[in-house]
A = this chain, B = another copy of it.
Amino acid sequence: MTQYSELIERLLKGETRAAARLMTIAENDIEAAEDIVKSIYKNTGNAYILGITGAPGSGKSTFISTLIRKLVKEGKKIGVICVDPSSPLTGGALLGDRIRMKEHFSIDNLFIRSMANRGQLGGLSRATEDIIKIMDAYGCDIIIVETVGVGQSEVDIFKSAHTVLALVVPGLGDDIQTIKAGIMEITDIFIINKMDLPGADRKVSELIRMLELNMNYSYSDDINNNFAKINQWTPEIVKTNSISGENFDKLLEKINKHKEFLKKTGIISNYHKTRIKSEILKILEYKMTQKIEKLFNTSEQIDKSIQKVINKSTDPYSMAELIIEMMGIEDSF
């Protein structure tokens, strides 16, 4: 029973305004987010989560618009979370795109939230998890988590995605390089977007070379039906044109194929466990960090101890060990 009980009740009935309100609350207040997630947790776990990334210029916004249009036409309820871990500076542009995107759809079947990085990276991925859960409990069938391509932070954010799509475009020489290594390894479907541009097929070959080089995948002629390793997904490559909508049916097929693969191999339940484990770990680490920082900023004893490091009568490592001892944590492990 929380102060949000009434809103949560309305959320679970599928009321849009209550959902929007709870997301805003969760985004702005981390304590409230905890309360909300605790209350709705048993109503989550039904949404399929798509992670989408790509460098600036790869046409992510148009791609996502077209994808959403397809999915809404199928009667799906869609949630979109746009995460920009890099900077408040680009927040405006992202938001602008979102607003443009939103014009196309009836509000009931589409939820769009933009999230910028206001604190720690860990905090952002945790906040993303919270918003995912609210959308899930609200009844979204598919939740799209979009991020710009900046490396490690995406890998964290995409931990909850069932299927990860990465966009590249023909022509931009180095754009495969801009799919950072961490992302490469978690991508299930590569999209060659703007397939009408010259060089699309060359980009496919480049991608295959890159995959073989980095991940020991081996592509056979029978590229679409042959898993390189038992129980291991070989990334698919799909060319799309987000403006004409060409190949989006094919893309949806591939997403479904990946979904089936996850189910058939049992990976989806292992994955579910791993995801929950990593989520609890993230929350734990966050809570511990908060405790430590609070201790740091209030304890006189710590302040005196720091003075000793400044005087060089001890060093930062020995001091950290001492503090852990002071906190009485050492013994409890």
Contact = CB atoms under 8 A, between A and B. Distances in A.
Contacts of A87: 151, 180-182
A209 to B, nearest CB: 13
Given A151-B85, A333-B295, A45 B281 contact: no
B151 A317 contact: no
Interface in A34-68: 34, 37-38, 41-42, 45
Contacts of A312: 41-42, 45
A218 interface: no
A272 interface: yes
B316 A37 contact: yes
A294 B332 CA distance: 12
Contacts of A45: 312
Most buried by B among A34, A151, A291, A314: A151
Given A294-B333, A310-B272, A329-B332, A283 B152 contact: no
A168 to B, nearest CB: 14
Contacts of A309: 276, 280
| Oligomer: number of copies | 2
Interface string A297-333: 0000000001001101011111111011001110011
B280 A285 contact: no
B86 A276 contact: no
Interface in A183-235: none
Contact of A277 (B306, B314, B333): B306
B323 A89 contact: no
B89 A315 contact: no
Contacts of A284: 292, 320, 323-324
27 contacts: A34-B317, A37-B316, A37-B317, A41-B315, A85-B152, A86-B151, A86-B152, A87-B180, A87-B182, A89-B180, A121-B121, A152-B153, A272-B310, A276-B306, A276-B310, A281-B292, A281-B293, A283-B316, A283-B317, A284-B324, A285-B288, A285-B289, A287-B321, A288-B292, A291-B333, A328-B329, A329-B332
A94 interface: no
A171 interface: no
